[in-house]
Structure 1
């Protein structure tokens, strides 16, 4: 049995070490970066509060989502002590039913660029999934709902 012996030059050893260090740094960088991702929708599986300006007056309001007997309820408490219950389209009569494998997803985004965020909800009721889009001025209590139902 013959043993083969390899002789490496210093520059090859240094290149191999440099590549190994870069590979380790890349793995560390990617592992830290994955923890800072932001989900598109906030998953709601229990009672939750969001603090943001929902009325356009420059002050933080509270968007409160409550689950009670497997149904979701949404309420906005403003700084001037107004409580606004956000209600869906009359045909649905709910903003969603809590199902463990399909919790409500919510995002607040100002797509109309009027400094008042719109409320986007993805939820389900029994076997139907639907998306709701709430827009309008909460100061004047005029909130409109658009519902898209998928089967």
Structure 2
């Protein structure tokens, strides 16, 4: 009888190890999938397939470049075979130009909770970054936001309606603007100062990326984090994910940042995943610290 009890327990141990191994493998696969999706966000333009108008059918987004000028053209074909060409900003007059080291970043996301996806395009020309945001209607696709913004993101918390965040980076500062969206387009939104999304910490990190000087950048991070960062020119980025605490304050902000660095084989684009965590809450100026920086490309 004791022998039988021992055999059962041994089998339970074996099965326990098997289940644990399955859980570990599944976690690794999920992590790899998440990383792959993050990297794919920055793929070189080509053809994108998605359901823009939430009708259960696939729509196509075609990205091409002019052979002579390298200017981008973006055309959308809906499942109903309607074709729309996206119009650029009236001042900038282009959707950007193809650059091997600064390729277009095209994403589709529901920004206003209407169950249809907006088209977000981050690109560049000789003057710097360009942002375009388009809304899909039944009979047209309209540009609802554009300009020379280097940061794009959105906030979806429990207490706030969806808010679009755009940022400009000059030589010293990083400034944010906030908007809500309705059928007429973006409406400026006065964001509480407690929702700064780690802007100061991110600005210090970008400064360090460009100079590799910790003191002048006012960056607070341990050496292991700084060792990951190579010197390079800041290109653009997006607010990838926001986590909130029980008071609906952003407790962790994850950004995807693109830089251009000089390597042995020439200029290369580098992509960093940056996590910022709330270190000290202050309703006027919450302070964030750099939790991690991962180089994913």
Q: Do Structure 1 and Structure 2 share a fold, with TM-score over 0.5? A: yes
For the aligned residue pairs, the C-alpha RMSD in angstroms reads: 2.6
Give every structure 1 segment of 4 or more consecutive aligned residues whose post-TM-superposition deviation is greater than 4 Å: 28-34
TM-score by length of 1: 0.68
1:72-124 deviation digits (Å, cap 9, x = unpaired): 11111112221100111121221110111111111100011112101111110
Match of 1:126 in 2: 126
Q: Distance in 2 between matches of 1:142 and 1:96?
A: 19
The equivalent of 2:144 in structure 1 is: 145
Q: Secondary structure at the match of 1:59?
A: coil
For 2:112, the equivalent position in structure 1 comes to 112
Structure 1 residue 44 displacement after superposition? 4.5
CA shift for structure 1 position 127: 3.1
Compare the two structures and name the one with the higher helix fraction: 2
| Match among 57, 65, 69 for residue 67 of structure 1 | 65
How many residue pairs align between the two structures? 124
Q: Rg: which structure is higher?
A: 1
Separation in structure 2 between the aligned mates of residue 145 and residue 40 of structure 1, nearest angstrom: 27
Deviation at 1:57, TM superposition (A): 3.0
Q: Which structure 1 residue ranges, 5 or more long, are not aligned?
A: 1-24
| Structure 1 residue 94 corresponds to structure 2 residue 94 | yes
TM-score when normalising by structure 2: 0.37
The 5 A counterparts of 1:1-20 are none
Tell me, yes or no, if the aligned pair for 2:53 and 2:136 is still in contact at 8 Å: no
Assess, with a 3 A threshold, how the Cα gap between structure 1 residues 59 and 32 changes in structure 2: closer, same or farther.
closer
Alignment partner, residue 56 of structure 2: 58
Tell me the residue number matched to 2:85: 85
Query: Tell me, which stretches of 5 or more residues in structure 2 are unaligned?
Result: 1-20, 150-169, 171-297
Structure 1 residues 41 and 125 mapped into 2: Cα distance closer, same or farther (>3 Å)?
Answer: farther
Asked if structure 1 preserves the Cα contact closer than 8 Å seen for 2:50 and 2:59, the reply is yes
Q: Distance in 2 between matches of 1:77 and 1:33?
A: 32
- Give the distance between the partners of 1:112 and 1:41, measured in 2 at CA: 24
Cα deviation 1:33-72 (Å, max 9, x = unaligned): 65323227723435x2211122343321111111223121
Pick 1 or 2: higher relative contact order, CA cutoff 8 A, min separation 6: 1
For 2:120 and 2:33, the matched residues in 1 are separated by 23
* Correspondences of 1:34-49 after superposition (within 5 Å): 35-37=32-34, 38-39=37-38, 42-46=41-45, 48-49=46-47
